[in-house]
Structure 1
Amino acid sequence: MAAASNLLSEDQFLCSVCQDVFNDPVSTPCGHNFCQKCITEHWNVSDRCQCPMCQEVFTTRPDLRVNTLFSEMVSQFRQSTQQKARSSSSEQQESRPGEVPCDVCTGTKLKALKSCLVCLVSYCETHLEGHLTASRLKRHQLMDPVENLEDRMCLKHDKPLELFCRTDQTCVCMLCSVLDHKMHNVVPLKEEYEEKKVELEKTEAEIQEMIQKRLLKIQEVEHNVKLSEEDANRKKAEGVRVFTGLKESVERKLDEFINTIEEKQRTTKKQAEDAIREMEQEISDLMKRSTEVEKLSLSEDHLHLLQSVQSLNIHHLPPTKDWSQVSVPPASYEGTMVRAVAQLEETLSKKMKTLVEVELKRVQKFAVDVTLDPETAHPGLILSDDGKQVHHSDVRKNLPNNPERFINDYCVLAKQSFSSGRFYFEVQVKGKTDWDLGVTRESINRKGSFTWGFHEIITLRHQKGYWNIQMRNGKEYKALDDPSVLLSLKSGPQKVGVFVDYEEGLVSFYDVEAAALIYSYTGRSFKEKLFPFIYPGHNHGGKNSSPLIISPVNQTG
């Protein structure tokens, strides 16, 4: 009997319904064998009774009987398989916690090598052999071992989930596709798997790209923090050096001031002491003469008195000074402190000039090429062909009223805009009596209200997104902050530098030739694009006809 079972191929011991080794095999009238449970369940869900192998139809359900001989052969095949499994178990690895065990192994469970998506069983190397050799089992879909294969069965029809419904975005079995999802777009799992895999790979690539961008951004931020730290340390060291020097200058000037006061006091005191000493000496001499005269006046000897008077020459007193013309007034300290502070101010001004020169050289490194935009210019302005100069004209041009153009305010913006970082540009204002310049945000009102007066328009600039300074009447300088700040300048600038640090919220103006800071707007919050902004002022009959000129930056440091 054992020899007979060995003559049969292994796939002949597999049920064509469950594709596994026969369990309680029974024979149909047509001579085919099936697991008793498999054929019974198949006929229970089928509309008619027929053989799954040859499709022979039976008018009545046959009385199934166990094929004794074949059942014995299956039993011997099982024993042979188990012996092979036991003999090879020592060579195979036992399943460990977290690993998928073989569902067929009895006793010691070996580590599953593959899971079958058709059988819904996980197999070790020995029990997988049938799927690698049997022709019918070779068609089964194998995958790396997974647990809970029952989750891959349709809960409603107890069939493998082999299809994917794209309409409902869910996995379905064959019966689902012809019943609940009949009119839906249903495709094999593999087809949807391939598409989803491509999508996942694309998503993964996008995610990796996003990760790389953020890693690079982290490196950039960390690098910037490091640069900021280094710059902060340099600035602190520079600040300590500068303020220590200023402190020493103040202390030195204070010492000089105190020494001046004390020297004056010492001189006054010495003059007083010398005068007192001289007067005390005169008093001593006069008192001595007074004693002699008093003593002589008490004498009753006529001859002695007369002779003594002659010898004493009492009519001639000891030599003395006319003290009525001598004065030792208190020392005057008026102006001493003012002069000391003025000298200190001069010292500080020199140090300030040096600091501004260094700062100006530093910000000039952020110079940008600025060109005026004719599309924004008021019709009463004349721009040079290169877009570097602008002045007011008494003749208003007929230009289209495009959204970018100023109508009520004689202004023009640059073509360039900035929404981050730092930038710097210079404007020559030489020969002008009226002008405004600075930066403005993109959303400012360029049309204005025709009910506004000219001065009202200019005054309201600081409330409308402008950060600028202005000159009026050739002498009055003002920063249009809130409130406006009247600027006290020693001399009118010939060239003005404008520096903006977007993130810091800083706008600073410099007198380039004098290397002096004119004014700074600080602590602002910029949320829009910023444009360089220029107002050349009215012509005023030729008094203000000189153009404002955007000058190339001469970086001298």
Structure 2
Amino acid sequence: MSSVSCLLHEDQFLCSICLDVFRDPVSTPCGHNFCNTCIIDHWNSNDKYQCPMCKEAFATRPDLKVNTLLSEMVAQFRQSAQQKARSSSSSSSSSEQQVFKAGEVPCDVCTETKLKALKSCLVCLTSYCETHLEPHLTASSLKRHQLIDPVENLEDRMCPKHDKPLELFCKTDQTFVCLLCHVSDHKMHDVVPLEKEYGEKKVKLWKTEAEIEQIIQKRQLKIQEITRSVDLGKEDADRQVAEGVRVFTALKESVERGLNKLIQTIEVSQEMAQKQAEVLIKELEQEISELKKRSSEVEHLLRSKDYLHLLRSFQSFKSAPHTKDWTEVSVCQSYEGTVVRNVRQLEETISKEILKLLPVAELKRVQRYAVDVTLDPDAAQAELRLSDDGKEVNHCGGKKKNLPDNPERFTNRTFVLGKQGFSAGKFYYEVQVKGKINWDLGVVRESINRKGGISMSPQYGYWAICLRNGNRYNAHADPPVSLSLKSVPQKVGVFVDYEEGLISFYDVDDAALIYSFTGCSFNGKLLPFFSPCNNDGGKNSAPLIICPVKA
């Protein structure tokens, strides 16, 4: 048997409940082993009979039998451990490493040179070095004494009233009591063994540790978010500076003052954002440091097998340090329109040159928000034909397809929507209208009416412009607005700033603004809107084509 036990690791002789070497090991029907007392106490404190290891539930409390084979192996293991302890004690009991040092617990039995205590006995209320601990490892009467890592002030673990060990915890009074306290002053109170209370508090500590770890992870993610925001802001700043250089260089020395002001404004804003980010990151790192410190304290308590020490520490232990709510915290950076605002402040003498440069700069600005839009076949009216890639739409010439009349589909008007919806931020896309004499373009609310008669205006969720008869441009406002354009657009850009309540249309080739809806109020998703209109006997057969944006 000894040869077999030597092949096994110490962990295989530990009860998974008390984490100590088995005492009177018993086996459950599922095949797992526990100390007899541990499994009984576990079932007494729970509503159902379940294996703590595999969670298998039993209808009735199993009739536990002592595992004789495991008992013999545990006995062999204990004997082997004792022999090793005696051998180690005899060879090094007087070595320099064993001598008691400041900050360590001394052996209470040593009379001359005090040696370092290896264990403290909660029954004897005495701390022992390796040599004086031997009787507790060999004498059968002492083996049942509870040994813990060496601690000072063992007398503090005795009841001052009855001079008995503090073995119980009164939940009613939240205090430690001895057996005599229980039958006298705390007879009608909720009193449990220290071990049980230790287990409950340890579970709470595990939960606290998990909560702290989650908070740490959230703070680390917030740091990444802030860092990413700063990086994106820097890229935006670099683009704006480059654009400003291009514009003001074209105006030569007369606009040098405006160029310097632009660069300074962006750099100051970026520097302020950088400083703000550094302050936030430093604050987050401080919180993380405090949380890690608290986590370390929790981890130290979790490793402790000293019931009384853990419970006492738990009473003064706070779940987690107070931390700031970072959910809405971010680094605010916006360089939107910086170039435009600075250029518009230039002297009247260079206004003509500015008017040439501004539309190009403005179009390039909005083109940075380009999105990939595809047509939604489930929304297309039955007379419309969509390309396989969802980028083109035209009218079939009066031939209606047999399509399911789903709620998303337009029934009477030759309309189709984009698949992609937007409920925040900015977005931009371009549509080729070349060769057409009638069309409608814009955005609509997702909730618009798609059946029967439809009124096109912002009041009903439509923000769109149109071409009629090849020469008449209108904005579907209330009332409609007639538009006067210098040239016929071949490609129209649509830009939306959701938060600003702005929808603008551009002649892409001329970099000219066609029309803007301003002061709009949005709620819910906005969807790109297209109408190639009727075929008109082939005169309007050209498709509307969603084009890739070339900034």
TM-score, with structure 1 as normaliser: 0.48
TM-score, with structure 2 as normaliser: 0.48
